[in-house]
Structure 1
Amino acid sequence: MQLERLTAEDLVSLGGSAAVGRHLRSLVPSGASVEAEVRQITERVRAEGDAAVLELTRQLDTGGAQPLPLLVAAPELDEAIKRLPLELVAGLQVAIANVAEVAQAGSVGDQVVALPQGQRVTVREVPVARAAVYVPGGRAPYPSTVVMGVVAARAAGVLDVAVCSPPRRDREIDAAILGTCRLCGVERVYRMGGAQAIAALAFGTETVQRVDVVVGPGNLYVQEAKRLLSATIGSEGYAGPSDLLVVLGAQAGAREVRLAALDLLAQGEHGEGSIVVGVACSARVGDELASTLQELARAAPRESGARFALVEASDQHQALAIANAFAPEHLQLIGAEVEALAPRATAAGCVFVGAGSATAFGDYVAGSNHILPTAGAARFGSGLSPHHFRRRVSEVQIDDQAAAKLAGAGVPIARAEGFEWHARSMEARMGDN
């Protein structure tokens, strides 16, 4: 494995924590722009519907073989769950229950605010009518993504939730994905992926029902399609290649170092485009983490394709500043002095506190959602929750007395902005007009 190391001297030469965060991000190239190609795909799907999706699936997913119908038949979902190992079904059921409980706890509901002038504003949370979850294909099936997306949508009150996933070369979707869809109560599963899937969900086709929101991680084409179609379909934001930053305290022992190395290698399994970073709060811990990583990596069955970096911080405060500047998808804090700083970790998709809190648990069964902002988007974005499937609608009720009071404040503002009819609209409710 290739491991980039940054010493304390390197941090000084880079010029501070913010610069270190930018440098770490630069280790993974942003990639060539695919905007023109994705725009062409989305326009083709809008114009040709099913025919375009099927032809693109033939070209990009099934190796030239004629794809199966876009919509997976209900008996196929029933058959898929029968083929799953019992221990996998049991694990998925634990994941579904835990994610559902956390999602429900985060639901706020309607709020009514009575204001001093006498008016009342009700903020209602209204679920979207239809949503879809994009489940990546590629190197492995991701049934856990079905759980994360569908359960959050259900907790929001969305009644119609679909799933799409690209078929393999044999034209099928993996049984683990289909079986999990059945466990989550999904009735519509589409054999499609890539930018063409996002476009089909945004515009609708003869087979694919148009949805209001699509969530889920995906490659550069999927994310670009979400961006291009953001005025047509909602999404949770950028969810691209994975990243992890682990902070190890200065007093970390051999067990903590080994656990951190395992966690870094685990996140590296997500492959090309991913970046995993260890931040050690002492030179000793940094040296031990580097040697442990190299030792464990030699036993790995294959090269992951992820980028690995190791940073030597002067203390836990500098380490946390680097973490906030990097804004990781996942942040792990190991060591008493580091764990105490968890409330100050303000730019991470999810924070895992303590040696027992492996990111891998969050990927599957901890109850937190694993669809998280990547590529530094944790500075302004949040992990998937029911809020991504809801709209806030404000309902305003103003009686005559309140209107008279409010007009005195509103009319000068309207005239300052040059909107005379706004001013007269409010003046007409002052009681003497």
Structure 2
Amino acid sequence: MGEQRKSFLEQVQSQIKSKEAKAFVSAELHHHLNEVKNYWLQKGISEEQADEKAVTQMGNPISIGRNLNRIHRPKVDWLTLVLFVAALLLGFLPLLSQGYIHTNHFSTYKIAFVVLGGIVACGIMFVDYRKMANKGWLFYVLGSLFLFLLTTNFNTVVEGQGVLKIGPLKIEGLMAIPFFLMAWAGFFQSNRFKMWQFLLLFVLSSYFFLQLSLTTLFIYVTMTFTMIWWSKLKKKAIWIVLGSISALVATWGGIGWMTVAYYQKYRVLSFLNPYNAEYLTSKFGLLEIHHLLVGAGWFGKHSFADQFIPEAHTNFVFLSFTYYYGWLFAAILIVVLCLVALRIMFIARNLNDTYSKLLLAGVVMVYTVQLVGNVGMIVGFFPMTNMSLPFISYGLMPILLNAFLIGIVLSIYRRKDLMVTNTLHGNQQ
């Protein structure tokens, strides 16, 4: 490298504050300098003279550095952060309505969960997700090991879900989702990843999830299917594989129905036949839930004196929220939560990088399945399941999972402008 070029690059980099951007800008400048240098070499001048002309033609290094610093400066997605904070704050309202906010046990834990969620999201924002692109196997092994240890060591069952309970902490299979999100994004971005590898790895991981929770398995399957659709695998092969897997799932579901627990059958049957006398008075029955929703009115009842809602701060939190605060506040809650999903999709639409798009495809699917699943079962679209409402349901694991998802979004947005630009073209004329 010539001294003039070296000095030029150093002056440009001196104006760039971000360490991440410096390496990228250096590579971009080298690319532009080589283009101009090759042009002059074709004119028949010496290599040293061509290099000097290329540097001179680039323009003022200080001015270029300032422009590149402005363009490539890591950015904070304030809109996503505001929606994230708003959703976390709305999560305190169910505790307030049920009087739990004055109970140290619930209020203290809830504050701790929210703080930890904020730390996770902001911490991941500062991690360069691009460095994880080639570590798919590492994340897959870690996720599989986590599930294996959980399936062989869980010591309690909550709502049909195997959970490892250590004091007040409940570790569940939901926490393996981030590992597989990173793993599949790494696999699917590669042209060398084969369909037989996908089938083998998918079946193995699905088996582990199946041992713990059908709900978590459903989240995992929908996430994986969405990501593989945006992968570099051939669409025809994807259709065949997804069709085959769906047929196997349907077959297994028919056989497995004979072995599921009574309360699980009860929830499905009450959904399929809500007018059956056995389900009319059930708190899990659709007619009873419909009665509570209709009776809430625009501004809610502001009391649970006449009604008992099971799992009012977890799975049925949307029902209790609507009943207490009314349709208006419920609509505001849904708008905020939907805006999070729309924001993620908007960011993904403007990306050109396959790895980033795969990550956001998985993120938005994991988030949306929870949102649609929880609200959908309350309004009667789906049977009752153990599905949390993102950021609103009480619990550490759901908050940490969704905070991780937000962190990935923030990390991608922060580095979305680290791409080749036309900034220098004007200086080359």
Q: TM-score over 0.5 for the alignment?
A: no
TM-score by length of 1: 0.25
Flag the structure with larger Rg: 2
The structure with more strand, counted as a fraction of residues: 1
The structure with more helix, counted as a fraction of residues: 2
